[in-house]
Structure 1
Amino acid sequence: MRHDKAAMIIDLARGMAASAEGLSLADMQTQLGAGRRTTERMRDAVLMLFPQVEEISDPPSKRWRIRGGLSAFEQAPTATEMLELTKAAAGHRAAGEAARAAALEGLERKVKAAIRSTTLNRMAPDLEALVRAETIAVQAGPRPTADETVLAEIRGAVLAERPLSFIYARPGAEARTRSVAPCGLMFGRANYLVAADRESGRIQTFRLDRMSAVEAGEGTARPPADFDLGAFAGQSFGIYQDEIEDVVLRIAPEGADEARGWRWHPTQTLTEEADGSVTVRFRASGMRELAWHLFTWGEQATILGPQRLKTAMVEALAAAGRALERAQI
């Protein structure tokens, strides 16, 4: 059997061992990125090589899992995999995310502790060389914060479906005590709690660095039954949520190549124009954040719609102009 097929079999076995409910044939196809016949052959090879595989009836289909995990030999990570874990932890720490960095660093220590000493000794020189050869460029922008105690309280409330209370203070507004049904967390340029107001049911976002006295309460507070955090996050260009609109941008020919490789939004479509320019369309909220981003495109980006985005850009330009005028006084 070719080496790449052997790697696919081991990877599929790892997937079966990592899933508590087991993998269906459709799950296996997704993991392998292969057709049904190839996936069936890979599954049969796993069944032959790993007799501990359990077959679970899940009408109208079946699932397969490996209880008890795999041996250290079959699970040893590569130097590249360990490098990505190290870089992810370093990236969080460089961005000021000490709690999330500590969690990944703890995972890294556990993984290394589980590796056989001979394998770890063989990997160490390559890992050290790769760590020295790669780094993460820290981008200018807000320095997000996520207190470990606050994160633990929020995550506990999410898992237990309990209400969450906290004091929320926004600049220029009086601090208020809020009581919400927590829906999840969004991490980005700033870190946010996504929650449903217990009185109105309205989904709102709250910056973690503006929250204090965070405490899970008694009783039950569930998110709306149809709420999807991924779909909610995908509505906005950034984090801020407001009215969703159809955005149309024209990127000039000199910026078209970069625009084609840019991920503007999950709903984006790109249209090639006769003059070499590119028209980008997507549906999103967060016009102010989008206007800020469009500053980086300079003269290459033209806003065709909506009007609210044009207004946001004009207001941002005016604010920048006023700041320059003050600096010249």
Structure 2
Amino acid sequence: MRHSKAADVLELARRMAASAEGVSIAEIMADYDMQRRTAERLRDAVVALFPQTEEVSEWPGKRWRIRGGLSAFEQAPTTEELVELTKAVQLLRAQGEPVRAAALEGLERKLKTAIRSTTLNRLAPDLEALVRAETIAVQAGPRPTADESQLAQIRQAVLAGQPLGFIYSRPGAEPRRRSVAPCGVMFGRANYLVAADRESGRIQTFRLDRMSAVKAEEGTAAPPVDFDLQVFASQSFGIYQDEIEDVVLQITSEGADEARAWRWHPTQTVEDQDDGSVIVRFRASGMRELAWHLFTWGEQVRIIQPTRLKAVMAGELDAAGRALKAVEA
């Protein structure tokens, strides 16, 4: 068996051991980008090497899992995996997320404790060298905050299907007591609770740094049965959710290479034009955040549609001009 095939077998065994539900043939095909027969041979190789593999019959198909986990030898992390974990901790701390950084640091310590001392001694020099050679470039912007007790209450309410109560304070408005059905949390340039109004079912977002007295309440309050947090997050260019619109942008030839490599949105398409420019299309909400981003492209971008994005862009330019005049006055 070639080295790459052996690595695939071991990786699939790890996936089977890490999943309580097991792994299906369809998931193997998708994860390893292979045809069904090849996926079946890979599964058979895992079953042959790990006799404790269980077959679980579940509609509409079968799944395979390994109960009891794998040995420390089979689970030893690589240098690259440990480096990425360390960098993830550094990034969270640099972004002002000490609570989440501490959770990952705890996982890092547990992993290193579980590794045999001989293996850890072998990994240590390369790990230290790579950590010194790679760092995080922190972008300017708001520092998200997430209080440990706040996150604990949100997670309790999500897991138990309980209402979440809190006081929400917006600039220029009176603080208001809210009680919602929590759907989850979106972490980013600012951290947001995503929740459903308990009466209308309308999905709303709340900045965590504007929430206080957060507490899981008695009773039940589940999000809509068809709600998907990942789908909800991908609808917007940033965080703010409003009307979803078809966005069409033209990037000049000077910025075309960068535009092709840029991830604008999960629904994007990029079309080359005869003059060297590119047309970028996607469907999204959050026109204000998109307008803010387009400022960074300067004269290299032209808004073709929607009209509302043009209006938002013009409004932001007017606001910036008024602010500049006020400073100069």
Q: Distance in 1 between matches of 2:232 and 2:125?
A: 44
TM-score with structure 2 length normalisation? 0.98
Task: State the shift of 1:60 in Å.
Answer: 4.1
Aligned to 1:130: 130
Partner of 1:237: 237
Runs of at least 5 residues in structure 1 that lack an aligned partner in the other structure = none
1:296 aligns with 2:301: no
Percent of pairs with identical residues:
74
Residue 153 (structure 1) shift: 0.5
Inter-CA distance 224–59: structure 2 relative to 1 (3 Å threshold): closer
Alignment-derived partner of residue 165 in structure 1: 165
How far the C-alpha of 1:272 sits from its partner, in A, is 1.4
1:249: Cα distance to partner?
A: 0.7
Q: Which residue of 1 aligns with 2:194?
A: 194
Shift of 1:32: 2.1
| Cα separation, 2, equivalents of 1:4 and 1:246 | 43
Q: Give, in angstroms, the shift of residue 160 of structure 1.
A: 0.3
CA deviations over 1:35-77 (Å, ceiling 9, x no partner): 2122111111111111111112224422111100000000000
- Once residues 124 and 199 of structure 2 are traced to their aligned partners in structure 1, the CA distance between those partners, rounded to angstroms, is 55
Partner in structure 2 of residue 24 of structure 1: 24
Structure 1 residue runs of 4 or more that deviate by more than 3 Å after TM superposition: none
Q: Secondary structure at the match of 2:74?
A: helix
Residue 108 of structure 2 corresponds to which residue in structure 1?
Answer: 108
Instruction: Report what 1:262 is aligned to.
Output: 262
Partners of 1:246 and 1:4 in 2: how far apart? 43
What amino acid maps onto 2:306 in structure 1? Answer: P
Matches within 5 A, 1:23-172: 23-172=23-172
TM-score, with length taken from structure 1: 0.98
The 3-state SS of whatever aligns with 1:193 is: strand
Paired residue for 2:311? 311
| More displaced stretch, 100-109 vs 49-58 | 49-58
Give secondary structure in 2 for the equivalent of 1:206.
Answer: strand
Q: Deviations along 1:72-93, whole A, 9 cap, x unmatched?
A: 0000000110000000011000
Equivalent residue letter for 1:124: A
For residues 10-56 of structure 1, what are the alpha-carbon distances to aligned partners after superposition, in whole Å with 9 as ceiling and x for unaligned?
Answer: 11111110110111111222232222122111111111111111112
Give the 3 Å change call, closer, same or farther, for CA 8–138 of structure 1 in structure 2: same
Q: Tell me: CA distance 1:136–1:198, structure 2 relative to 1, closer, same or farther (3 Å).
A: same
Task: Determine the C-alpha separation between the residues in 1 that align with 2:296 and 2:10.
Answer: 45
RMSD: 0.9
1:60/1:188 Cα in 2 relative to 1: closer, same or farther (>3 Å)?
Answer: closer
SS of the counterpart of 2:140? Answer: coil
AA at the equivalent of 1:119: T
1:26 is paired with a residue whose SS is: helix
- Aligned-partner SS, 2:150: helix
Q: How many Å apart are 1:319 and its aligned residue?
A: 1.3
Equivalent residue letter for 1:228: D
Question: Counterpart of 1:50 in structure 2: which amino acid?
Answer: F
CA distance in 2, matches of 1:32, 1:19: 17
Q: Which amino acid aligns with 1:84?
A: E
Give the equivalent residue in structure 2 for 1:208. Answer: 208
Structure 1 position 199, deviation (Å): 2.1
The equivalent residue for 2:271 is 271
Q: Which residue of 2 aligns with 1:217?
A: 217
**Which position in structure 2 is the counterpart of 1:226?**
226
Any idea what SS the aligned residue of 2:23 has? coil
SS in 2 for 1:89: helix
Question: 1:175 and 1:59 mapped to 2: Cα distance?
Answer: 49
Counterpart contact for 1:168–1:211, Cα < 8 Å: yes
**After alignment, is 267-276 or 121-130 more displaced?**
267-276
Closer/same/farther in 2, CA of residues 312 and 67 from structure 1, 3 Å limit? same
Q: How many residues get paired? A: 329
The residue type paired with residue 105 of structure 2 is: E
| Contact 1:12–1:32 (CA under 8 A) maintained in structure 2 | no
Name the stretch that deviates more: 146-155 or 60-69: 60-69
Partner SS for 2:69 = coil
